[in-house]
Amino acid sequence: MKKEVLETLKHNKGRFISGEELSNRLGVTRTAVWKHIHQLKEEGYRIESVSKKGYKLLEEPDILNENALQLDLDTKIIGKRIIHLNTIDSTNTMAKKIAAEDGEEGTIVIAEEQTEGRGRLGRKWVSPKGTGIWMSLILKPSIEPTEAAKITQIAAAAVALAIRKVTGCEAGIKWPNDIILERKKVCGILTEMSAELNCVNYVIVGIGINVNGDMEAFPEDIKKTATSVKASAGKTVSRKAIVLYILREFERLYLDFIQSKSLQKSVEICKKYSVTLGNPVKIINRDRQIVAEAVDLTEEGELVIRNQKGELEKIISGEVSVRGISDYV
Ligand code: ADP
């Protein structure tokens, strides 16, 4: 019911709507209306209450809970259920548990803070409270396990588009899983999977974005290579607007991938905004380090490099460091 109260206030934003009208429209008592308004205020909604006039929504807080997001979300599956938490060890870990217990495709876990946020290979992802987007998407695609890594490219395309659209900042994609602003990492994507030999049980796509974080407060080593959306945009940015855009774009590209069995639409975006292509790169794969030039992405989303002998090679995964990007080693 709180959702309906909020919805009605939003439709009448900036105008008063009386307690009586709200209670008639929604079929609840005026006391119930008052209680929901009180809860919304506690969540950070600025609502003016004037006796005889009623309630007026002045400002919405930048919160990422189910009520706030779903009222503005027009996706079919992604975000159908949103689990929003104040604090969690890792949204990917929680998403895995939910997925294993029959969690539906499209369910999302979002936290205000992660105490043990993870990157690839057991590395840490710093996720301070209230300033970023720390979220994981649960997917259950009918694809071969070997196809699952492609979903990282879909997420990268969706995040780059979202940051560009919401802020006008020129977000770039560092193949395969980082989003870059002004040569520094603003977002990391961690895709994890549970699969049998030839069937996927679930895929979890973890997306961590530094939105309004104070980069000065980050650990010294990360400060050198990391940035926030706010630092580039020069102002505080709505996390909600970015989340909504990501979910919409992700759904569009993901459904296209599943239906057409082609990654082409996402690859086009990843190519267009790539900060990798055309640059010297170092690739670390197990014990081997290759120095090469990144030349292309295939239709399957693999990186094509020209090695030092002038031969073309396809890279499916690995640690890539790109000359010109701040974490170049
Ligand atoms: P990569 O994809 O760049 O190889 P990962 O996806 O494994 O890296 O991310 C983990 C690494 O990212 C950490 O080792 C750390 O250097 C860096 N990092 C950790 N937290 C953040 C953050 N909030 N923003 C940017 N970079 C971070």
The SS3 of residue 324 is: coil
The larger pLDDT score, comparing residue 1 to residue 116, is at: 116
CATH architecture of 1-59: Orthogonal Bundle (1.10)
In this structure, which residue's CA is closest to atom 4 in ligand 1?
319
Q: Which helix (H) or strand (E) covers residue 85, if one does?
A: strand 82-88
Alpha helices in 141-285 (DSSP H): 150-167, 220-223, 229-233, 239-260, 264-272
Q: Kindly state the average pLDDT of the residues 1-15.
A: 92
Q: What is the predicted pLDDT for the residue at 241? A: 97
CA of 266 to the centre of ligand 1 (A): 23
In this structure, which residue's CA is closest to atom 5 in ligand 1?
119
Residue 185 annotated as binding? yes
- 161-186 pLDDT, tens digit per residue, is 999 999 999 999 999 999 999 999 99
Q: What does the DSSP 8-state code read for residue 271?
A: H
Q: What is the predicted pLDDT for the residue at 127? A: 97
- 273-326 pLDDT, tens digit per residue, is 999 999 999 998 777 788 999 999 999 999 999 999 999 999 988 789 999 998
Pick the CATH number of 279-324 from 3.40.50.80, 3.40.1190.20, 2.30.30.100, 3.90.1150.10: 2.30.30.100
- 122-151 pLDDT, tens digit per residue, is 899 999 999 999 999 999 999 999 999 999
Residue 39 annotated as binding? no
The larger pLDDT score, comparing residue 317 to residue 187, is at: 187
Mean pLDDT score of the chain, rounded to an integer? 95
Q: Kindly state the average pLDDT of the residues 18-47.
A: 94
Q: Kindly state the average pLDDT of the residues 151-156.
A: 98
Q: Which of 129, 146, 135, 268 is nearest to 207 (CA)?
A: 135
Using pLDDT thresholds of 50, 70 and 90, give the confidence band for residue 41.
very high
Angle between helix axes 30-43 and 2-11 (nearest 10 degrees) is: 80
Q: Is the pLDDT of residue 329 over 80?
A: no
Residue 120 annotated as binding? yes
Residue 248 annotated as binding? no
CA of 124 to the centre of ligand 1 (A): 7
* CATH superfamily to which 66-273 belongs: Bira Bifunctional Protein; Domain 2 (3.30.930.10)
Q: What is the predicted pLDDT for the residue at 102? A: 86
Residues with Cβ within 8 Å of 66's Cβ and at least 6 positions away in sequence, in order, are: 81, 82, 83, 84
The SS3 of residue 303 is: strand
Q: What is the predicted pLDDT for the residue at 46? A: 95
Residue 156 to residue 172: CA distance in whole angstroms = 9
CA of 74 to the centre of ligand 1 (A): 31
CA of 268 to the centre of ligand 1 (A): 25
Residue 292 to residue 3: CA distance in whole angstroms = 54
- Residues having CB within 6 Å of any atom of ligand 1: 119-120, 123-126, 177-178, 185, 188, 190, 208, 210, 222, 226, 319
Q: Is the pLDDT of residue 103 over 90?
A: no
- 274-289 pLDDT, tens digit per residue, is 999 999 999 987 777 8
**Which position has the token pair 């259920």?**
81
Q: What is the predicted pLDDT for the residue at 318? A: 78
The ranges assigned to domains in the chain are 1-59, 66-273, 279-324
